[in-house]
A and B are shown apart, each in its own frame.
Chain A
Amino acid sequence: EIVLTQSPGTLSLSPGERATLYCRASQSVSSTYFAWYQQKPGQAPRLLVYGASSRATGIPDRFSGSGSGTDFTLTISRLEPEDFAVYYCQQYGSSPITFGQGTRLEIK
């Protein structure tokens, strides 16, 4: 099983700042099958990025994904108030599909 470790666990930033979230895999992951999701309290997750760097439909361009192999990054260029949420990485190229434990992005 591929273990995904996200860092930091919690990130405290202010609106307008840049956020960088990390996800490290225990073994190499196909970037074609790597995604990021956002989840707000009481809501289902929402797909942000798939294929490591492709934005999902309707996702603002302040969200960008990058990385390959074992190290992946989600960057939010300028934080908006609605961006404060929990973010999960996911690999879906190897069975079982696995998620990271999440990074909580909170308002400083």
Chain B
Amino acid sequence: QVQLVQSGAEVKKPGASVKVSCKASGYTFTTYYIHWVRQAPGQGLEWMAFINPSDGGTHYAQKLQGRVTVTRDTSTTTVYMELSSLRSEDTAVYYCARAGTNQALDIWGQGTMITVSS
């Protein structure tokens, strides 16, 4: 079945970096964009970035520009999101999601909790 499986929860210190993986299966990896969306505890959804797995092209939220990098490995059908210079306000659940035929986010990963704490 079509699914996105993310890496596990992590705890990081302020100033560190974190890299979250999102493995796609059940469909042709290069056909659909992958987005990253985060959700701080008790808060709403915030869009972060997307990647075109076909050519690796990316687009980032201006707010995170310079701190977030999204890459992909077509050989393992995995997308990676790296966030650097972590601060406490980056504490959130990070989701990857597939943009379906209409570009709406039709398949979501299970989420990865990233905690930034000294």
| Chain A contacts to B: CB under 8 angstroms | 32-33, 35, 37, 44-47, 50-51, 54, 56-57, 88, 90, 92, 95-102
Tell me if B102 and A102 are in contact (CB < 8 A): no
| Chain B contacts to A: CB under 8 angstroms | 35, 37, 44-47, 59, 61-62, 95, 97, 99-100, 102-106, 108-111
Give complex CA distance A11, B67 in Å: 37
Q: Which among A37, A57, A101 has the highest number of chain B CB atoms within 10 Å? A: A37
Q: Which residues of A contact B37 (CB under 8 A)?
A: 45
Query: With contacts A88-B45, A102-B44 known, is A44 near B110, CB below 8 A?
Result: yes
Q: Which of A44, A47, A54, A97 contacts B111 (CB 8 A)?
A: A44
Query: Nearest-CB distance from B70 to chain A (Å)?
Result: 14
Tell me if A88 and B44 are in contact (CB < 8 A): yes
**Which 6 A-B residue pairs are closest in the complex by CB-CB distance?**
A50-B104, A44-B108, A97-B47, A99-B45, A35-B104, A50-B102
Query: Nearest-CB distance from B109 to chain A (Å)?
Result: 7
Tell me if A99 and B44 are in contact (CB < 8 A): yes
Q: Which residues of A contact B108 (CB under 8 A)?
A: 44-46
Q: Which residues of B contact A90 (CB under 8 A)?
A: 45, 104-105
